[in-house]
Amino acid sequence: MGMTITEKILARHAGRDRVEPGELISARVDAVLGNDITAPLAIKEFEKIGVDRVFDPERVYLVPDHFVPNKDIKSAEQSKLMREFARKQELVHYFEVGRMGIEHCLLPEQGLVVPGDVVIGADSHTCTYGALGAFATGVGSTDLAAAMALGETWFKVPETIKFVYEGELPKWVSGKDLILYTIGDIGVEGARYMAMEFTGPVIEKLSMDGRFTICNMAIEAGAKNGIVPPDETTSEYVRERAKRPYRFEHSDPDAQYARTITYDVSWIEPQVSFPHSPDNTRPVTRATHVEVDQVVIGSCTNGRIEDLRVAARILKRQKVHPNVRLIVFPGTQAIYLQAMNEGLLQTFIEAGGAVSTPTCGPCLGGHMGILAKGERAVATTNRNFIGRMGHPESEVYLSSPAVAAASAITGRITHPEEVI
C-alpha cells in the first residue's frame, strides 16, 4: 500500500520507511518559527529546559510581525525579548522592523522553507507552507521551545482528505474563493486533525500566490496541514530562492485517503464568509446588501503581489466610498517595494486608501485598523470570529482582494463586475 505526500514527508523525517495514520512519531524538523506574540513564551520555556544553545541557529526563525511597529510598551517589551534572544543565540534569521514582513509571506519569499520540509511554527497559519509541497503546521509555544532545543518534535500522523478541483475558473474567482467555498462545504471541523491535499487541473494552473492562500486557510477547516503536490510552478518559484536543497514528494497512486472530494469550479462565484465563522459562506451576489465601514486588503492570506495587482486593477481611476476606510498591507518589504515600482501603491493612495508597512495589525484585532462597536469590515484575512478585528459587536466579512476592492468603491459588498 502506498503513502500520501504528507505521510512520505513525515516518514522520511522520522527515519522510517513508512508511517500510518494515527501513529505517534518523533520527527526531526527543518525549521521552527516564532513571532512577537508566541516566541517570548517559548523563549522563557526554553530557558527553563537547561540547554545553552538552540539546536541550529540557522533553523530557528524569529519574525516580529503581529504588533509591529510596536503599538505600546508591552509589545515593545515582547519584541525586545525576542531581539535579545536572537543576539544571544546568534540566530541567522531574525527579521527586524524594516527588513521583516508578515511571517508566512516572508519565509517562502526568502527561500527559508522548501519542498519536502517539516516546519513547525507557533502560529496556526504555519500551514501556509504546504503550498510548496512541505509539511507545515502550527504548534504551541511550549512545543516550540522543546523543538528549538532538540530539533525534533512529536506528531500524530494525520489521515488525508484529497480535494480535486476540476473545470475552468470563472472571471474574478481566485484561490481565496476556492478555499472559502471548500470550508463552506465541509465546515470548520470538516478536516479536523487531517491533511488537506489540494489537487486537480485547476490547482495545477494556479499561481504560487493562489496556492499559498489556499493552504493558509486549511486550519480554518480544522486541518493539521494543507499541501499541494509540487510541480513546475513550484520549481520555478523555489529555484532562485531556496537556501538549501529540497525534495519533491508525491502521493503514490495507491495511497489511501479518508475521503476524496471533487469540485467543478466552473459555476462558483466569488465567495464571502459572513460573521462569525469562515464556513458561513455565500456567493457575493447574495451579499450585496451588506454595507461596510472598513476594507482591509493584505495579511498572510492575501498580501502578496498578485493580490495587490488585482485590487489595484479594480481601484484604478476610482475613489474609495466616502463612508469607507481602505487599508492596504503588503505582505513583505519586498512586496511593498515591488508594488511601489509597479505604481500599485500610487493607485491605492490616489483612490483614497492608506498603505501600511507590513504587519499583521488589524487581522488579529491588534492595531492599525481596529473596529468600533457596530462597525463592519470586508477583509482579505482568514478569520472572522466574534471580536477578531476589534469590538465584540463588530463584524468581519472575508473575501478575495477583488471583492474587497470593489466593496471599497461602493461602500457595500460588491461583485467586481459592478465597478469595472
Between CA 118 and CA 380 the distance in angstroms is: 27
Among 390, 327, 373, 379, smallest CA distance to 353 is for 327
Residue 245 and residue 254 in contact, taking contact as beta carbons nearer than 8 Å: no
Q: Let me know: does 212 contact 177? Beta carbons within 8 Å.
A: no
CA atoms within 13 A on the CB side of 140: 5
Show the cell assigned to 368: 492599525
Residue stretches of the chain with pLDDT short of 50: none
Can you tell me which residue has the cell 518534535? Answer: 153
Q: Contact, 28 vs 56, CB < 8 A?
A: no
Q: What percent of the chain has pLDDT over 70?
A: 100
Alpha carbons 84 and 81: distance in angstroms, whole number: 5
Can you tell me the distance from the alpha carbon of 115 to that of 131, in angstroms, rounded to the nearest whole number?
Answer: 9
Measured distance CA(320)–CA(341) in Å, rounded = 22
What's the pLDDT score for residue 50?
Answer: 87
174 contacts: CB under 8 Å, gap ≥ 6: 210, 213, 270, 310, 400, 401, 402
Calpha distance 22→258 (Å, rounded)? 12
Report the pLDDT value the prediction gives residue 96, as an integer from 0 to 100: 94
Task: Kindly report the CATH class assigned to 271-418.
Answer: alpha beta
Residues in a beta bridge with 194: 159
Instruction: Give the count of beta carbons closer than 10 Å to the beta carbon of residue 303.
Output: 32
pLDDT at 358: 95
At 1 the pLDDT is 84
Q: Where in the chain is the domain with CATH 3.30.499.10?
A: 5-262, 271-418
Give me the CATH topology for the region 5-262.
Answer: Aconitase; domain 3 (3.30.499)
C-alpha span between 176 and 378 (Å, rounded)? 14
296 vs 362: CA distance, rounded Å: 8
Structural contact between residues 183 and 382, judged by C-beta atoms closer than 8 angstroms: no
